[in-house]
């Protein structure tokens, strides 16, 4: 085993080292910017090319050298992953220029969420039985509403008591006799 390791490193040429080092660096960059894939795939390709080049030189057992290089690269990539994981747990990566801290949309506004705040206090009529969720007509429009823990029959009068995001909460209006 030690003979294979010494043969592995003693017969390594400059192109082999360059491919293996670039492969490791690309894998490390992928670990920093998860989800980009281009760095990870490129790193794996560079690593495989480096291993193939090393095996083609032909000192010693080709299979043993290929397995050793794969194991060494996997260990180094794993150590890089652990370093990135540790740095992110400490918060050092989260506060660096590497991580985008803001979103493209203003945090107070999202075009995907309608604002139903103007409905608070508005009255309407239950369009479909509220069990406790159903539809009510408020200001001439149909809305999905929530009656909390009560059931309200179709045709009953309701009032909007609260709006939380897209959840419209209603309460039954007691009819005066």
Boundary of a domain, candidates 90, 106, 130? 90
Report the CATH number at residue 157: 2.40.50.140
Number of folded domains in the chain?
Answer: 2
Print the domain residue range for 86: 2-90
Taking the C-alpha atoms of residue 163 and residue 177, their distance in angstroms, rounded to an integer, is: 30
Same domain for 75 and 148, yes or no, is no
Q: How confident is the model at residue 1 (pLDDT cuts 50, 70, 90)?
A: low
Average pLDDT in the 125-138 region?
A: 92
Q: How confident is the model at residue 169 (pLDDT cuts 50, 70, 90)?
A: very high
Same domain for 6 and 84, yes or no, is yes
Going from the C-alpha of 7 to that of each of 3, 54, 72, the distances in angstroms are 6, 11, 14
Taking the C-alpha atoms of residue 25 and residue 17, their distance in angstroms, rounded to an integer, is: 12
Measured at the CA of 108, the angle between CA 105 and CA 109, to 5 degrees, comes to: 55
State yes or no: pLDDT of 15 exceeds 60. Answer: yes
Tens digits of residue pLDDT in 103-116? 555 556 555 667 88
Same domain for 81 and 26, yes or no, is yes
Average pLDDT in the 83-96 region?
A: 71
């Amino acid at each position: 085993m030690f003979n294979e390791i010494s043969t592995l490193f003693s017969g390594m040429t400059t192109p082999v080292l360059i491919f293996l080092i670039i492969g490791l660096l690309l894998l490390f960059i992928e670990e920093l910017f998860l989800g980009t894939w281009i760095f990870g795939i490129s790193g794996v390709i560079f690593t495989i090319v480096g291993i193939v080049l090393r095996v083609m030189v032909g000192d010693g057992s080709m299979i043993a050298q290929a397995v050793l290089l794969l194991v060494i690269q996997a260990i180094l990539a794993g150590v890089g992953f652990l370093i990135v994981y540790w740095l992110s747990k400490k918060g050092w990566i989260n506060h660096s220029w590497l991580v985008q801290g803001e979103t493209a949309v203003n945090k107070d506004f999202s075009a995907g969420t309608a604002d139903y705040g103007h409905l608070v206090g508005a009255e309407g009529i239950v369009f479909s039985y509220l069990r406790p969720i159903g539809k009510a007509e408020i200001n001439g429009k149909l809305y999905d509403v929530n009656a909390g823990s009560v059931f309200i029959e179709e045709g009953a009068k309701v009032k909007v008591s609260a709006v939380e995001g897209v959840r419209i909460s209603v309460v039954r209006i007691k009819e005066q006799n």
